[in-house]
Amino acid sequence: MGKLIITLLLSLISIGVCAQAKWELKKDEDGIKVFTSVCDNSCFKAIKVECTLTATQSQLVAFLLDVEKQPEWIYNNKSTRFIKKYKDNDQVFYSEVNVPWPCSNRDYISHFLINQVSPTQMSIDSHAEPDFLPQKKGLVRVKSSVAHWEVTTLSNSLLKVIYTVQFDPGGSVPAWLTNMFVTKGPFHTFEKLRAGVKNTAYQGAHFDFIKE
């Protein structure tokens, strides 16, 4: 059951996270910190992750936009595919998350927007758009998910990342049980992200909307 709940932590790519959140540190290992916060507007806890990455802003963006590779680093992601591009920094993706039997897999549609605030500051926001595509038989559609990345350049090849997310996995999963396992999924995902972003395929990436 623990594995089931962890899978519902979905994409750390998927904030109007709790206003004035009081974050409680739940895991601090290998340079990755995972926090949770109780939210007045939801029975599910919000999550915050803090870490540093050896990468440039463009390198991180190239990695995140390589959506078909998400199953390699997002915890229990079965598949992700591109749906629509409004602009290079404004795109929509569809993902399915593996959930062990007897529960149904979850799917979700994420609208992903990247904004460079300054040469050293970048924000990334995503939110669920559950009605963008018709629901699929046998899957539970995630209808509420909002996430925010704060990315700060510390040096030419070092980024500080603060990621926050609040979501509702949908279906009949008890909130108290979900909240017991809110650290393993995010920690695993950021471990994989931190390693994957160093891949030579993303080095030297360039985007017109990013100045470095």
Provide CATH code, domain 2-191: 3.30.530.20
Per domain, the residue ranges of the chain are 2-191
Cα 13–18–19 angle (5° rounding)? 125
Closest of 139, 124, 149 to residue 51, by C-alpha: 149
Counting Cβ atoms within 10 Å, is residue 179 exposed (0-12), middle (13-18) or buried (19+)?
middle
Give backbone dihedrals phi and psi of 172, rounded to 5 degrees, phi first.
-105, 45
- Predicted confidence pLDDT, tens digits, the chain (212 residues): 444 444 444 443 333 445 456 898 999 999 999 998 876 666 677 899 999 999 999 999 999 999 999 999 998 899 999 999 999 999 999 999 887 666 778 899 999 999 999 999 999 999 999 999 999 999 989 888 889 999 999 988 899 999 998 877 666 665 554 654 577 889 999 999 999 999 999 999 999 999 98
Question: Which one-letter DSSP state was computed for residue 162?
Answer: E
pTM for this structure?
0.86
| Torsion sign, CA atoms 180, 184, 189, 194 | positive
